[in-house]
Amino acid sequence: MAQLNFGGVVENVVTREEFPLSKALDVLKDETIAIIGYGVQGPGQSMNLRDNGFNVIIGQRKDSKTWDKAIADGWVPGQTLFEIEEACEHTTIIQYLLSDAAQIAVWPQIKKHLTPGKALYFSHGFGVTYKERTGIVPPADVDVILVAPKGSGTSLRRLFLEGRGLNSSYAIFQDATGRAYDRVIALGIGVGSGYLFETDFKREVFSDLTGERGTLMGAIQGIFAAQYQVLRDNGHTPSEAFNETVEELTQSLMPLVAENGMDWMSAKCSTTAQRGALDWWRPFRDATLPVFQKLYAEVASGEEAQRSIDTNSKPDYREGLEAELKELRESEIWQAGATVRSLRPERNK
């Protein structure tokens, strides 16, 4: 394990150089991994593990769209694809990758198969952290571990196929066997992590919920919508407003920020842009800081988790979700976006 020092804050990280794939395969050579759920993270993690040479099976509800997707991805019913409980019977490691709401509903079926010495793996600390609300309390004689890729399952798979990796956090909630560390790092390497940094279940879910609602999705959509509206209200065309709000950021600037950092980006832009960025970032910080503070407080209190549980457990949740997504999809900014994306050169090759 290596250590990174960030101005006096020391973090533990594990790289593929110090824990290579060959070691991960050796650690798990006698284990079978069951991926429970084939929605967001399931496909990417399971196919990466399979391609890396691990023993993997899928547990999924039969006759569902995701069951059919698993078959299309090469999983074979009765051999590597099973109903959820049957998959749990044939495994030593259960990767519990259902949605948070589905984890609550299916937990009684999973718990009865958590016999001593097995490992229960999460990619999100939600169920365990908010156990008073979810009822997910693992038995004391199993390892409880977490690997949380910092991106979607689609990105995890895409980067794996490109020979790259997506950074992941890892955590150990419970070490019943004395092997939890080796198991979690081996699985982290197996699913395609670029490197792994240490966290715990509570910090993972607090940062994840804040990030999703903040700069990763919620805040960025809000900022996009506000700037786009100001430009349109002042006579700019949809194409110009979208290009200045979204397209230039996502297609040109953010890849450079990802490669080199915001300081490098600010140093390389025009002096006019430079001056504006340096003058305006603090007002934006000051305006949004109270919102982020309120967001984090509600995540930490469990209020945000309860809202998610209540909403996502409703029988008509899918219908309500589709109505909200339809409103977003049909808004002018994202209609303009669809048109602009269709004009990108690679679409016309």
Residues known to be catalytic: 124
Pairing verdict, β 2-6 and 56-59: unpaired
Beta strands in the chain (DSSP E): 2-6, 9-15, 33-36, 56-59, 81-82, 93-96, 119-122, 143-149, 166-174, 193-198
Specify burial of residue 125 (Cβ count, 10 A radius: 0-12, 13-18, 19+): buried
* Euclidean distance between CA atoms 249 and 254, whole angstroms: 6
At residue 145, φ and ψ (nearest 5 deg) are -135, 170
Tell me 295's DSSP state: H
Specify burial of residue 184 (Cβ count, 10 A radius: 0-12, 13-18, 19+): buried
- Torsion angle of C-alpha atoms 205, 207, 210, 214, degrees rounded to 10: -140
Cβ neighbours, 10 Å, residue 15: 15
End-to-end CA distance of the chain: 46
